Chains A and B, each alone.
Chain A
């Protein structure tokens, strides 16, 4: 291992925005789907959460989004355990933690104009007030993800998969979140578009200092985007560390197997 660069030291010192602290979870009285999982997100840093079907990625994401409560352990937001009954702190939480989903065809309402979809978090989270103010914000958001301002007037069906994912990202950015939780955000996209959306995430994380949790089955995407990686297998984080060192020297056999399974170009 190399010594931490100044940038890394700074990132390590940054306050944790969102964390899972020794979280276990089971649905009803079923078997545990997450066991003793700890994970921390700091501003400006991207963490990749890798695992296959049934590993518990989506369950962990639900907990981190405050859509469920852990069976044991806690989800911590800005240093405090998340209390889902405390509506005031949950409102601050919803502003700060935003999701982007895999399928931009189902995550956007086909009957809402794109501008209204992007502005929706502003309204529902009680942020920007006036109509003109909101419109200006929507324009700015769409431009920041590389879409023309007149996109706001159109419906999702006028856009390609990659463009729709940009719209979903613009909507996630609307409340100026500190953390974005992205569930397989490029898996549904063609290879050539995939790289562009990855670059968009990179730029946003850098420019806006947003912490990113990227949930993916695809090691390549995580390698592209994330400084840190956590490998989830059967509800347990089997390996966690700096992406580069985990990928070049995987310690856990499962990480090794994942890497070996990626189809490579000759």
Chain B
């Protein structure tokens, strides 16, 4: 397996502030088609790591170390890459979905127009072909009535629908890696289930790689092949999901698994369809 993303000794520093870096010596790889989970609590550095990979950290935050992305035209070292080179990487190599879809969608632009933007830019579509591609993209994220959604502004649709639009937008340029940072945290549980399913099926169908970031162990466990556990800016432990759940090596992971297990055990174990006796 070749690595699509290699993060090596990543550090995120707050310029002008003495003290330990916010992210310190973080290394991991994501193989072609692999689904990697990153789990951690508030302040663990998981979102900063995602932003660093997308090079969306703004001053006074500064990344050090190495983040390599394998693209069609050779590897790109994200840290220090020229802006023009990055423009080619974002969207077509890496797409991203964040917790709050409102933050990544333009409130003053109809949804169809927002979605047309990357489709035009990355796939060179125009006119009717572009219009069809917009509707297809909305249908692909299982939005009923794509015509209506395309005409709507973002405040006219629900939270779950917004997140589906954000996913359509992230997928529009056909990236090889999707970074999803707490994409379902703000959603109701029944809506979350649908969006998780959508992410899973999109990734599988397109053979994409996935970096799925969450504070919620059951959510990560359901979607990731391998999990990186982060705490206070450092990687605590990395392992196969099953292995990590059944035999966590580090104390912190053990605490995390035990707390999630204790909560999980409160609900009936059997699948509910079999719950009726």
A4 surroundings in chain B (CB, below 8 A): none
> B261 to A219, Cβ gap below 8 A?
no
B193: Cβ under 8 A from any A Cβ: yes
Q: Return the chain A residue nearest B191 by Cβ.
A: A52
A264 surroundings in chain B (CB, below 8 A): 218, 222, 264, 267
> B189 to A258, Cβ gap below 8 A?
yes
Q: Return the chain B residue nearest A196 by Cβ.
A: B259
> A191 to B215, Cβ gap below 8 A?
yes
> A220 to B193, Cβ gap below 8 A?
no
Binary per-residue interface labels of chain B (246-277) against chain A in the complex, 1 for a CB within 8 Å, 0 otherwise? 00000000011001111110111000100111
Report the Cα distance A249→B274, complex, angstroms. Answer: 10
How many B residues, CB 8 Å from partner?
35
A259: Cβ under 8 A from any B Cβ: yes
Majority-rule SS of A interface residues: helix
A7: Cβ under 8 A from any B Cβ: no
B52: Cβ under 8 A from any A Cβ: no
> A261 to B264, Cβ gap below 8 A?
no
Report the Cα distance A43→B154, complex, angstroms. Answer: 45
A258 surroundings in chain B (CB, below 8 A): 189-190
Report the Cα distance A90→B152, complex, angstroms. Answer: 46
> A190 to B192, Cβ gap below 8 A?
no
Which residues of A from 2 to 55 have beta carbons under 8 Å from B?
52-53
Min distance, Cβ A197 to any Cβ of chain B, angstroms: 12
Given known A-B contacts A248-B268, A250-B275, A263-B219, A195 and B189 have beta carbons under 8 A apart: no
> B262 to A190, Cβ gap below 8 A?
no
Given known A-B contacts A220-B267, A265-B260, A260 and B193 have beta carbons under 8 A apart: yes
A265 surroundings in chain B (CB, below 8 A): 217-218, 221, 245, 260-261, 264
Tell me the number of A-to-B contacts counted with CB atoms below 8 Å.
90
Which residues of B from 181 to 206 have beta carbons under 8 Å from A?
188-193, 196
> B266 to A220, Cβ gap below 8 A?
yes
Query: Chain A contact residues (Cβ within 8 angstroms of B): what range?
Result: 20 to 34
Report the Cα distance A149→B216, complex, angstroms. Answer: 33
Min distance, Cβ B270 to any Cβ of chain A, angstroms: 8
B239 surroundings in chain A (CB, below 8 A): none
List 25 contacting pairs A-B, 8 Å CB cutoff, sorted by A.
Answer: A52-B188, A52-B190, A52-B191, A190-B42, A190-B215, A191-B217, A191-B259, A191-B260, A191-B263, A195-B263, A217-B188, A217-B189, A219-B267, A220-B263, A224-B263, A249-B277, A250-B272, A258-B189, A259-B272, A261-B190, A261-B192, A263-B221, A265-B218, A266-B221, A266-B242
Q: Which residues of B are in contact with A by a Cβ distance under 8 Å?
A: 41-42, 159, 188-193, 196, 215-219, 221-222, 241-242, 245, 255-256, 259-264, 266-268, 272, 275-277
Q: Which 3 A-B pairs have the closest CB atoms?
A: A52-B188, A223-B266, A263-B218
Q: Which residues of A are in contact with B by a Cβ distance under 8 Å?
A: 52-53, 161, 190-192, 194-195, 217-221, 223-224, 247-250, 256-266
